[in-house]
Chain A
Amino acid sequence: MTRVHFGRARIFALALAISGCGNPVPDRSETRAPLSPDSIPDAYARPSGALIAAGATRGFQVDEHGDLYDGEWKVVFTPTADGQPATPPRTIAALDRWRPVLQWVRHAGDVTWEFEAVAVPERAPRDTVLVVSLLVRARNTGAAPHRAELSVTLAPPDPDPVFVAWDARDNPRVALRWASGTARDTALAWCGEKVTGATFTAATTLAPGAVFERRLLFPTYPTADHLLARHARFSHARRVSEALQSANAALAGGTSFALPDSEVVSAMNAARLLLLACRERRGGAWVPIGNPFQYRDVWLRDGARVAHALAITGYGSAAREMMAGFIGFQWPNGAFLSQRGQLDGTGQALWAFEQVLLRGARPEELDPYIAAGQRAWRWIEWQRTAGRTSGTREGESVQTLRFGTMLPFAEPRDGELVRAQLTGNDAWAIAGERALERMLRARGRAASADSVARDRARYTDDFIAALARTGLDYVPPSWQGIGRDWGNLAVGWPCAVLPPGDPRLAATARRAWEQAGEIGLTVYGHRDSLHGYVGNDLATWALLTGWTAPADSMLDAMLHWRTASGTAAELFSRAGDFGRNLPPHPTAAAALLAQVRNRLIYDDIDTLRLTLGARRSWWQGSQVKGAPTWWGPIDLEFQHGNNQVTWRWTPVPVWTVLTLPPDAILTGPPPAPLVAQGRDRVLAPPGTREATVRAVSPTN
C-alpha cells in the first residue's frame, strides 16, 4: 500500500530502530575501574589530544609522549616502576571517541599508569584561561609489590617547537613554578603540596592490586596560587562530570541527529564540539580559529566552512556571532581578505553571510551584512571592469587581457600555491554575488537583487567563456593552467557556478581522483599527501548528480582518518604521519558535518532534498530534529522496510525531492500528487508532510 498525507495530517512516530544515537552521561562514580583508551582506534601514526575550550586563547596539546604543551611551557611526565620508565601512550582517547575527557595509559612492567584530563574553562571575562584537571593513577596489576614513582616537570618548549603561543614571553621567560598554598605569586601547576624547583615527585610502594593516585592542575596561563587552590576544591570527578554535562548540553542545543550509525553520530558529536571550541572572542564578536595549536589564526576560507557547518547543524547563534567577526575583515575597497593574496575571501564572506543569516536570523539582522555585501559586489565588478577595459600594446594595436574579465592574479601562499589568476577566486566571487542577491530578495529589495543577478549572470558567462579559452576539458586551478587543485574543486559545490551535470565538473573530479589513485579522498601536492577535507566539495557535487559512490568513499575516509578523540588532521601521509600539521583541524570537522547533513537534508537551492545520500543502514529508521533550513527549522524521519519507504517531515512551501534508499527503485508510479523523478526519486509538492511509496532493491 502506498500512502501520502498532506496538510494538517498527524505525524505518527516511526518505529525507529536507533542505536548509538543518545548522549547519556557515563557513570562517573568513583569506581576506580581501569581505563581502556587503547581500545579506541586512532588512524594516525602517533597519538595526540587537545584540551581546549571556546574563548580560551590557549589550549594544551597532549603529545605522543603523554606530555602537555600550551605554546609556552611543557609539562613532562615521567612515570616509572622499580626505576623502569613507562612506555609512551599508544592512544590518547576521548571517552566514547568524542566526549571532552581525554584518557591515556602508559605501562611500566606490572604497573599501569592511567591518565585522565579535562579542560575546565573559566567563566567570562576570565575565559581566556582554562585549567586542566588531571588525575594520574598507578595500578599494580602484578602479583608482587612494585615501587611506583611519578615525576612531573615544568619545562621550557623544545628547541624547535611546532607552535608557540602568540603571547608567550621570551624575556624574561615564565617562571617554572608550582603553586604553594600561601604564596602571593603565580604558578603553572598545582599538586596540593609545596614543591621546590620545577619538578614534583611522588612515590609509593604498591602492593598487588593496589592503586595510587594524584590529582594535578595545570592552567594555560600563570595563575595565582589562591585561584588554583580554589580550583582544587572541586574534585576531578566533579570536573569530569561537569565537562560531560556541558558537552551534552552543547549538543542538545543543536540539531539532533538520531541515526542508527554510531560511528557517524560519534564523529559528528566530536566535530561539533570541536567547532564550538575553536572560537576566540574579539570584543563582542567571535572568530573561528584554524586550529588550536599551529594554525591559531583566522582564515576566511576556513572560517566560512566552519560557520556554514555550525549554521546547518543547528548552531545559528554561534555562527551569527562569527559573521560579526567576519565584518572585521572588510577592507576600505570593499573586499574581504584575511591573508595576503587570498582573494577568495570576498566570495566566501558573502556566501557565509547568506548560509548563516538566511537560516534563522531576524530579517533586520541582514541589513548590515547586505550593506557590506554591496560594497564587496561593487569591488568585484570594478575588478572585472578594470580587467575588461585594459590591454597590452602590441605594436599599433592593443590586445585585451586574455582573462581580463576574471579577478586579477594573486599569490595565496596556500591552497593553489601559485601566483596566477585562480579559478577558485572567481567561483567564490560568483557564489558571493548569488548570496548577496538572495539576501536582497529576502529583504524585498527586488531591484537591487536584479542588478546583482544581472552581474552574476554576466560573470558566469565570462567564466564559461574563460574556461573555453583555456582549451582544457576540466576546471584548472588557475586560468593559466598552473597550481594545485584547491578552489577549482569548489566550482560545482558549493559555488554552483556550473550545473552539476556539466562534464567539466566530472572531468575535474576524475582528474583529482586519478591523482589520488582513488575516488573520494584527494591528495595535495604529492600522491602520498592525503588531504582531509578539500575533496569533500567534489563528493558533495557527486551527490547532487546522483552519484553516491564518491561521497560514500569520502565519508568512509573521513570516518577512518580520525584520532582517538574523534577529530581529524588536515594533511597526512598514507601511513598516517601528520608531521607538524597537528590535529584537530576544524575545516575537516566542518566537511564531515556538511556532508552528513547534506546527505540527509539539502536545502541550498529552491527545492528541499531529503535523504539525498542516506546510507543503507540509516534506513533502518532515522530521525533529525531541529534542522535549520531556508524555510525554517524542520524535523525529518525516514525508514525503509517491507518494500515500503516512508518519510515524514515538517512541511515547507517548496517542492521536496525524496531520494530512495541506495539501490531501491519504485515498483510503480507513486500516488498522486507525488511525482516520480526517474525510478529512485519522488517529488512532493509544497506542504507535503508525509510520503510512503513502495520500492524494491533488485540486488536483494
Chain B
Amino acid sequence: MIAIAAAVVWVTRREAIRGTVVSPIDSLDAQTAFAQGGRLGTAGRHVASIPYFRRATTAGMGEQWEGRINLAAALINAALEVDSRLGKADPALRSSYERVQSVVDGMGEARQAMKVARDSRARAYTAYQDAQNLQAWGFAWDALAVAQVAQSLDPAWEPPRRLILELQRDLARGGVAP
C-alpha cells in the first residue's frame, strides 16, 4: 500500500512538474519580447521570432497595432522562410500544411491589427501587407482587390498605388513578361 501511495505521489509530482514547465520566453515582458522578435525578424529568422511576438501580444501588446501586425508578418513570412539544415536549403516549416496554417494564422492576426490600428496609414499598411501576401501566393485578383482597399484607406501613400499598377499590368498580360 505504501509503495502504491509512493508511486501515486511520484506520478502526481511528475505531472505537476510537467504542468508547470514554461518556456523562458513566457517570462519576458512585452517590450523585451517584442524587441527580440524584431531582432530575429530583421535577421530573416521569422519562425524563431513568432513565439516572441506572440508573447508580446499576450504580455500587453495585444491591443497595439505594432504587436499584432508584427506577429502577423512573422507568421506570414515564416511560410516563405528557407532554412539550411545539414547543408541543404529547405523550407523552414515542415510542410505546406504548416506553411498554409501559418499564413492563415497571420492573416487572422492582420485582421486583429486592423481593428486596433490607430490611424489610416496603419490600416492602409495592414491591407497593403495582406495584398503583398496574396500576390506572393499567386492570388492576383485577391491581391488587387485588397491593394485597392489599402489605397482607399490612405490615398496619399504610394506603395499600394504601385502594387495596383503592377498587378493590373500583370493581369492584363496573363502574367507573361513583355
- Residues of A in contact with B (beta carbons under 8 Å apart): 72, 156-157, 159-161, 163-168, 170, 173, 280, 282, 287, 289, 296-299, 325, 328-329, 331-333, 335, 337-343, 382-383, 386-387, 390, 392, 401-403, 408-412, 419-421, 478-480, 482
A interface footprint on B144-178 (CB within 8 Å = 1, 0 otherwise): 11000000000000000000000010111111110
Contact between A297 and B95 (Cβ–Cβ < 8 Å)? yes
Contact between A157 and B86 (Cβ–Cβ < 8 Å)? yes
New A-B pairs, 5, CB < 8 Å, besides A390-B171, A409-B171: A164-B88, A166-B90, A282-B97, A408-B171, A420-B175
Contact between A333 and B142 (Cβ–Cβ < 8 Å)? yes
A interface footprint on B107-138 (CB within 8 Å = 1, 0 otherwise): 11000000000000000000000000010111
Ranked 3 nearest A-B pairs via Cβ? A409-B175, A341-B138, A408-B140
Contact between A159 and B87 (Cβ–Cβ < 8 Å)? yes
B96: CB under 8 A from chain A? yes
A interface footprint on B70-105 (CB within 8 Å = 1, 0 otherwise): 000000000000001111101100111100110110
Contact between A480 and B176 (Cβ–Cβ < 8 Å)? yes
A383-B141 in contact given A331-B104, A409-B175, A421-B175 (Cβ < 8 Å): yes
Chain A residue numbers with a CB within 8 Å of B136 are 340
Chain A residue numbers with a CB within 8 Å of B141 are 382-383, 386-387, 408
Most A C-beta atoms less than 10 A away, residue of B86, B107, B140, B144: B86
Once A and B bind, how many residue pairs between them come within 8 Å at the CB atom? 121
Contact between B172 and A408 (Cβ–Cβ < 8 Å)? no
Q: Could you jot down 26 A-B contacts, CB within 8 Å?
A: A157-B86, A159-B87, A160-B87, A160-B88, A164-B87, A166-B85, A166-B95, A173-B86, A280-B95, A328-B97, A329-B97, A331-B100, A331-B103, A331-B104, A332-B108, A337-B100, A386-B141, A401-B171, A401-B172, A403-B174, A409-B171, A410-B138, A410-B140, A412-B138, A480-B175, A482-B176
Contact between B138 and A411 (Cβ–Cβ < 8 Å)? yes
Which one of A328, A337, A383, A402 contacts B101 once the chains associate, using CB atoms below 8 Å? A328
Distance of B82 from chain A, by nearest CB (Å):
12
Chain B residue numbers with a CB within 8 Å of A403 are 174
A419-B176 in contact given A164-B86, A168-B85, A382-B141 (Cβ < 8 Å): yes
Distance of B86 from chain A, by nearest CB (Å):
5
Most A C-beta atoms less than 10 A away, residue of B94, B95, B138, B139: B138
In the docked arrangement, what's the CA distance between A383 and B141, Å?
A: 7
In the docked arrangement, what's the CA distance between A167 and B98, Å?
A: 13
Contact between A170 and B96 (Cβ–Cβ < 8 Å)? no
Contact between B85 and A386 (Cβ–Cβ < 8 Å)? no
- For residue A156, which residue of chain B has the nearest CB? B86
Contact between A338 and B85 (Cβ–Cβ < 8 Å)? no
Which one of B85, B87, B134, B174 contacts A420 once the chains associate, using CB atoms below 8 Å? B174
A341-B137 in contact given A297-B95, A328-B101, A409-B171 (Cβ < 8 Å): yes
Chain B residue numbers with a CB within 8 Å of A478 are 174
- For residue B80, which residue of chain A has the nearest CB? A340
In the docked arrangement, what's the CA distance between A331 and B102, Å?
A: 11
Chain B residue numbers with a CB within 8 Å of A342 are 138
Which one of A332, A409, A410, A421 contacts B107 once the chains associate, using CB atoms below 8 Å? A332
Chain A residue numbers with a CB within 8 Å of B101 are 328
Chain A residue numbers with a CB within 8 Å of B173 are 409
A296-B171 in contact given A337-B138, A482-B176 (Cβ < 8 Å): no
In the docked arrangement, what's the CA distance between A697 and B80, Å?
A: 60
Contact between A340 and B137 (Cβ–Cβ < 8 Å)? yes
Most A C-beta atoms less than 10 A away, residue of B85, B171, B174, B176: B174
A409-B96 in contact given A166-B90, A168-B85, A340-B138 (Cβ < 8 Å): no
In the docked arrangement, what's the CA distance between A386 and B148, Å?
A: 13
- For residue A338, which residue of chain B has the nearest CB? B96
In the docked arrangement, what's the CA distance between A237 and B90, Å?
A: 39
Contact between B140 and A409 (Cβ–Cβ < 8 Å)? yes
Chain A residue numbers with a CB within 8 Å of B103 are 331
Chain A residue numbers with a CB within 8 Å of B145 are 386
